[in-house]
């Protein structure tokens, strides 16, 4: 089963969920704002895909951070920032066993199909 972590209001997450349905891929959705992510989860994701990939620097939340907060958003400092501000997590975050996939473009779709 594919675990999908995102925001229920996120258009990309909505597209991903619809695509998973059409493809017949078993999945479960988790809204990271309502069901808060843990520090260990975020650290695992960041280690798997890299912090630059996981932190959504295009978000409104990112633009509202101080320069000091932005500078701290690397390595383990990024993990706590993402737990405190889940809208900074690039979406969606897919989990398949130990594999972590972030985003929903052609490459990510191919990886999801491949399992």
Q: Hey, which residues are catalytic here?
A: 10
Distance, CA of 25 to CA of 1 (rounded, Å): 8
- All residues at 6 or more sequence positions from 63 whose CB lies less than 8 Å from its CB, including other chains: none
Measured CA to CA, the distance from residue 78 to residue 53 in angstroms comes to 11
């Amino acid at each position: 089963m594919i675990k999908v972590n995102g925001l229920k209001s996120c258009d990309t997450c909505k597209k991903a969920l619809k695509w998973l349905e059409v493809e017949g891929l078993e999945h479960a959705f988790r809204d990271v704002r309502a069901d808060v992510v843990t520090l260990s989860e975020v650290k695992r994701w960041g280690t798997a895909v890299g912090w630059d990939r996981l932190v959504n620097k295009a978000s409104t939340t990112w633009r509202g951070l101080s320069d000091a907060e932005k500078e701290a958003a690397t390595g383990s400092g990024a993990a706590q920032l993402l737990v405190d501000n889940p809208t900074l997590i690039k979406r969606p975050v897919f989990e398949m066993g130990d594999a972590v996939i972030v985003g929903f473009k052609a490459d990510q779709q191919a990886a999801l199909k491949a399992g």
